[in-house]
Structure 1
């Protein structure tokens, strides 16, 4: 440990190197500069590109130094902290600079170049809407799916109709859904994104193998031919090769797909033992999709004990109505004003609106989110 000296008794020698000497009855201290190192993941890709920066490999030979970290991303933005993320919105080559300060006058720097290309990310979607159930039919869930798919196509620079699979009513079978996932996985790359939208019945029953539900309940999406549990859905999505996955579910009990949710509609992250955690969980402690180092966002219409309602005046489920409203651009107005619409921005707008409206009619439900995305997950403009 350093002696307790006032700064006036510490005099620099050559550069920023200090040592401990006795001169004229005083203790003088030499300081060793820190070493700056960092990694960027990924090191390049198509715009908009989210990059995770990690400087935990930086070091200092002086025991007890508390290092501080400052970042310059080369596009006018800055940040602080040992780790951080940054979105590069525009193609180019950006020199990212890290400065490490030991608090005693010693600093070190490191840099690397991040290349952001113009090659477009390909967006895929599977959009499911089921109203014509053989028992307990719904009114607007197929309209929800139609409207969502059409809204995606209003961003033509991102969405191609050939990359959107629309499964309505009798076509919304588990077989067709799995086939659509497999077809997309066969052609997609880790740079691509997949959006799954489901509007229909949701159900619950006692936990089945692999018996991994903390509350003893499995949640399921009710396709026209059979139910698909959260474990089953996670299994279907396990090998999808995309780097970004967004799942939007307007169904009763859908918060059980996320689990660990809060009734606070402003909460930004909920993590638990449903589908959402299966998609992002640590492979060292659990199974399912944890081995995939990808960005995942799951947004549900309700908590795991709540219904998700339709409303005649809206012509949609309440959740979908406010989702579509957010996608008109309202989400970005209340977001970061970058002209892009992210899942996180949509949730921040729709969640309080859903809670407010459903509370006013005495049928409250609370949208939930699980977010493991590095930066925001963009899916429309």
Structure 2
């Protein structure tokens, strides 16, 4: 099997969690949430609405590099109105989860992939890279400090959001001379309110998420900002998500607003759009490809014209479609619609099997043959 540069970059070993304890200074929150309030928050789980008591924070300057590694109270941050990120958009982020296993231990999934992709995104936006060990150390020390915030309800997790932004106060088009790295943590349930239910997808033809030579394969806020108008219009019309087509010809499937796409064929083969530089190289996408190849499935990364997919649905050659990403994991696509078509996809058996296999690994109920799990506590 041929690995991508990102997958290769994620294969380096990092120390065990116990060896990283103390690598970030702990500044306890004197106003931590009460046990009663925290317990209530862990029962009423949404997604990204509540946050734990602490956050990780480090600073980069040209003179000192990355320094002042701290786990500190979660609170509002002060920034000059001239802060560079507010004007020029130098910002990257990641998303991963901490899972509580049945024995009470806490694990995360392929964190070195997230560390490698954060640096890939940073390079594209002229942001200083962050060492893998420091990245993992921030997750370990934050989760150890806020372990009580990791829920144990089915399908739940502590969602972790590492991010870097330009914080220098100046006006002028150049890379910033100061950056902040932070991680916040949010106890979360299912990304979609209806859980594992097929979603209705609008196929967008007017607007595009990213173009050739742009930032499509970087995890940066600008790519999501460009998706918000068509997503808002689609949601108002009753659709759950938007599928974007390539910006050059408007004929080929790229991805959903925040998820990669897979197509299941009637002959058992599975296809997904190839990585063109416009598509985010998702950790979940990478993991699914590996698991399917482990099973000996015929998996192809190739150009997927929307016209061919629609014809396949009509003929029965396409039986299922699904989307995947860290937040939603795996989600069945129940229908595709646009101005000139509507098609239904009633099948979801393969999708559900993939979902069960992947989440089983993450929750420790299915064997992890690739060493993807990393114990945090």
Asked if TM exceeds 0.5, the reply is no
- Greater Rg by CA: 1
Query: RCO higher in 1 or 2 (8 Å CA, sep ≥ 6)?
Result: 2
TM-score w.r.t. length of structure 1 = 0.26
